[in-house]
Structure 1
Amino acid sequence: MSVKSEVSTASILDKACESALLHQGGEADVYELVCGEDLYALKWYHSGCSFEDAVVGRLKHLNIPGLYRIRESGVRDNTPYLVYDFVDGASSADIPAMPVPVALNLLRQVVHTLDALNKEDIHHGDINPSNILLCKSGESLQTLVIDCGIVGPGALAYAAPERFQGKPASEQSDLYSLGMLLFRWIAGVDLLDSGDYNKLAAQALTIDSVDVSSRLYELDCCSAQELSALDSLWKALLRAKAEDRAEDFDELDELLEIALDSIGVGEVTVQTALQKYADEVLAIKMEQKFPIAPKNEFPYRKNGGENKKNTLKIAVLAIFGLILIAMVFLVCVGTKSPDIDETGNLLLQKSRSLESVESGIENQLDSAPDSVPLKMLEDLPTPVSE
């Protein structure tokens, strides 16, 4: 992994005029950046966390429906960061349990996005509720997948067993994570619950022995018909060995379609359920969003201002140097001129005027001129030796 350590002077970070902290996560904090009429999301990684630079570099050139658009990446103040288009939606980690038809439909959307990503030979590697946003689309709901290419196994409660063993993300590991995601959406809680790395790794290795249907029955969140329809999905996704899972995203999509048919839900019924869920739950969550810290507290140092000040000072000093050189030259050449002391006094007055000009220009750095107006020196007499 090699994240670029320098950013362009045209960085979105430096163009931002407002900032607001929206979310504090385990691997990074998320900020809203305002750049004129454009809104961006900034993911500011914590120490020890980062992203796979090769994956992010490829994502910048892709425009896949249901996938976020990365606009910039790099390192600022020794901290990796990502900038992507701001999306007015809610994290699926912040919403209550979904009706089964809603969960199945939304998961199909995610599967279509991941399938398109897989065709570009890119695997997500960190499918979990926080990385799936729900957005209003007309009267329905649309999923948006974010945060591809994380270094490491990602959210441990959703990581496939092989990811704990250091293996890279794959289509099969993403399929396992989708099974965990589906359970969370339906049940409102994680299937595996532990804050200990080793315990979660051990539970993932014995996932075949977990009776998922019984867990859902105990939570009283599904009908008997729904439990039966979901059973084939758990067997295709939540398996310790990668080869025992569904073959690919296409097979999973077929299984999801069959599950919807099995519970007697047609397209019209699904859309009605999505609209109801969006109106009753998502709208409330979106209205509750607010910055968790005062605005304009940028997590990084902005570039540009000090450079302009230094450039201006150098330019003014250079002009003084040229003037002094010209005076020495003219003194050596010699023509009739006023007294040198008088010239020195006038030069001092001009230098004070230039200092005043410099102070005024520093207050308007964005419109700083390339040079100091020379008209201010037109009345300066040229001294010569008697």
Structure 2
Amino acid sequence: MSAKCEKPTTSILDRADACALLHQGGEADVYELSCGEDRYALKWYHAGSRFDDSVVDRLKHLNVPGLYRVRESGVRDNTAYLVYDFLDGVNSADVPAMPVAVALKLFRSLVHTLDLLDKENIHHGDINPANVLLCRSGAMLNVVLIDCGIVGPGALAYAAPERFQGKPASTKSDLYGLGMLLFRWIAGVDLLASQDYNELAAQAMAIDGVDISSRLYGLGCCSPQELSALEPLWKALLRESPENRAEDFDELDELLEIALDSMGVGEVTAQTALQKFAKDLFAEKMGQKFPTEEKSVFPYRKCSGENEKNNLKIGILVFFGLILIALVIAVCVGTKSPDIDETGHLFLQKSRSLESGAERDSEMTIDSVPPAMLKDLPTPATE
């Protein structure tokens, strides 16, 4: 299908000079776009997947710490797409199990970002490890949330029970997704697992009966002290009924502060743990540039103002070419166009000749008619 381009000169899609496929997901493929020195991420949605336009349009005007910056959105080739700033980080879905102190520190930062969004009456709707990136800033490690405003329940293993019932995203559903995310960060595996939609919906509805502490203990990833500190968090997040979850993100932040204190993890200890984790995580990634050796074909048809300029140039050349051909033919057959001055002179003479004839006709009277002609004219009858 042909591309529809309303503003081809300003679209990032059309300014991109290189493209590399980064990830193929269930709802969309993600590409890295290079526009000279600038780099962007392109989320190219699959058929049937889309985002909430009203949410994305509002995000374009927000600058929230810990949240990606949406630069462009729309439809190209009947396909929905998003363009946002490229983030040089690691998808948390690809990260092994984190130390509990590191997970809680990063988790608390993510909660602050969601709280700011909540105050703008924006709900994420699809909190899962793939939508949280870990980015290094100097020796520090930051979390960045991406992909707000999805239409539908999102990643099913992280969807709240009410989302399976078709209810829209809310503060409460985001709190449930956070609980599933925290478990994945600490355990390195999902709490719920199935390839079947109905099975996952049933497991979510039965979440109150899951002994999460026993699961973590069996995986050997938490000490007894850590398990005790985490228990209030599971009760505030992973509940079947939204009314039984934490009231809001402010309440959750207070619970996180209590959990860190009960583990004896102060600010200095937490920062030291974060720095060590970041160093290990990014050991092989630092200094990596745009993967030019892995360039991909653009998933869309580019619209460029250069094409219109080239078409105009071709049209002008064809026009003058036709004129040149006509002149050559005229010379070959010996035709000669009269000079414009000569044509004007002939036209003037003809006009004067016509005027002289008209004057002679107006001067003719009965006295000037020869007597022989008068003799033959009929005479009026007398009474």
Assess same fold via TM > 0.5: yes
Which residue is equivalent to 2:308? 307
Residue 280 in structure 1 maps to residue 283 in structure 2 = no
Which residue is equivalent to 2:235? 235
**Residue ranges of structure 1 left out of the alignment (5+ in a row):** 329-338, 346-381
TM-superposed deviation, 1:139: 1.1
Cα deviations by residue, 1:117-156 (Å, 9 ceiling, x for unpaired):
1111100000000000001122121000000001100000
Contact 1:71 1:84 in 2 (8 A): yes
Residue 341 in structure 1 maps to residue 330 in structure 2 = yes
| Structure 1: distance between partners of 2:68 and 2:201 | 30
Contact 1:229 1:262 in 2 (8 A): yes
SS of residue in 1 equivalent to 2:283: helix
Residue 50 in structure 1 maps to residue 50 in structure 2 = yes
Which residue is equivalent to 1:254? 254
Give TM-score, length-normalised by structure 1.
0.81
Change in CA separation of 1:110 and 1:289 when aligned onto 2, cut-off 3 Å: farther
Which residue is equivalent to 1:361? none
Residue 169 in structure 1 maps to residue 158 in structure 2 = no
Residue 268 in structure 1 maps to residue 268 in structure 2 = yes
Which residue is equivalent to 2:76? 76
| Structure 1: distance between partners of 2:171 and 2:272 | 32
TM-superposed deviation, 1:313: 2.8
TM-superposed deviation, 1:7: 4.8
Contact 1:22 1:290 in 2 (8 A): no
| Structure 1: distance between partners of 2:331 and 2:199 | 87
Comparing 277-286 with 53-62, greater Cα deviation is found at: 277-286
| Structure 2: distance between partners of 1:289 and 1:239 | 43
TM-superposed deviation, 1:211: 0.3
Which residue is equivalent to 1:351? none
Cα deviations by residue, 1:148-172 (Å, 9 ceiling, x for unpaired):
0011000000000010011110000
| Structure 2: distance between partners of 1:197 and 1:78 | 28
Contact 2:5 2:303 in 1 (8 A): no
| Structure 1: distance between partners of 2:245 and 2:284 | 37
TM-superposed deviation, 1:310: 2.5
AA aligned opposite 2:337: V
AA aligned opposite 2:263: I
Change in CA separation of 1:70 and 1:343 when aligned onto 2, cut-off 3 Å: farther
Which residue is equivalent to 1:352? none
User: Moved runs in structure 1, 4+ residues, more than 6 A?
Assistant: 286-290
AA aligned opposite 2:315: I
AA aligned opposite 1:111: V
| Structure 2: distance between partners of 1:77 and 1:179 | 38
| Structure 2: distance between partners of 1:44 and 1:146 | 14
Comparing 310-319 with 205-214, greater Cα deviation is found at: 310-319
SS of residue in 1 equivalent to 2:303: coil
| Structure 1: distance between partners of 2:179 and 2:246 | 11
| Structure 2: distance between partners of 1:269 and 1:127 | 28
Residue 222 in structure 1 maps to residue 218 in structure 2 = no
SS of residue in 2 equivalent to 1:233: helix
Which residue is equivalent to 2:369? none
Pairwise CA RMSD: 2.6
Which residue is equivalent to 1:384? 337
Residue 127 in structure 1 maps to residue 80 in structure 2 = no
Contact 2:157 2:190 in 1 (8 A): yes
Q: How does 1:348-363 map to 2 (within 5 A)?
A: none
SS of residue in 1 equivalent to 2:32: strand
Cα deviations by residue, 1:268-316 (Å, 9 ceiling, x for unpaired):
0000000010111243466899869941411111112443332333344
Contact 2:68 2:145 in 1 (8 A): yes
AA aligned opposite 1:39: R
Which residue is equivalent to 2:7? 8
SS of residue in 2 equivalent to 1:127: coil
Which residue is equivalent to 1:178? 178
Which residue is equivalent to 1:350? none
Contact 2:72 2:83 in 1 (8 A): yes
Contact 1:340 1:384 in 2 (8 A): no
| Structure 2: distance between partners of 1:12 and 1:344 | 56
| Structure 1: distance between partners of 2:74 and 2:329 | 57
SS of residue in 2 equivalent to 1:236: helix
Which residue is equivalent to 1:60? 60
| Structure 2: distance between partners of 1:153 and 1:164 | 6
Residue 17 in structure 1 maps to residue 17 in structure 2 = yes
Specify the structure having the higher radius of gyration (Cα): 2
Which residue is equivalent to 1:35? 35
Residue 151 in structure 1 maps to residue 151 in structure 2 = yes
Change in CA separation of 1:108 and 1:342 when aligned onto 2, cut-off 3 Å: same
TM-superposed deviation, 1:218: 0.3
Which residue is equivalent to 1:364? none
Aligned length: 334
Contact 1:340 1:383 in 2 (8 A): no
| Structure 1: distance between partners of 2:333 and 2:97 | 82
TM-superposed deviation, 1:174: 0.2
Change in CA separation of 1:95 and 1:290 when aligned onto 2, cut-off 3 Å: farther
Q: How does 1:362-377 map to 2 (within 5 A)?
A: none
TM-superposed deviation, 1:341: 2.8
Contact 1:21 1:292 in 2 (8 A): no
**Residue ranges of structure 2 left out of the alignment (5+ in a row):** 340-383
TM-superposed deviation, 1:58: 0.6
TM-superposed deviation, 1:38: 0.4
Contact 1:21 1:293 in 2 (8 A): no
Contact 1:343 1:383 in 2 (8 A): no
Comparing 21-30 with 174-183, greater Cα deviation is found at: 21-30
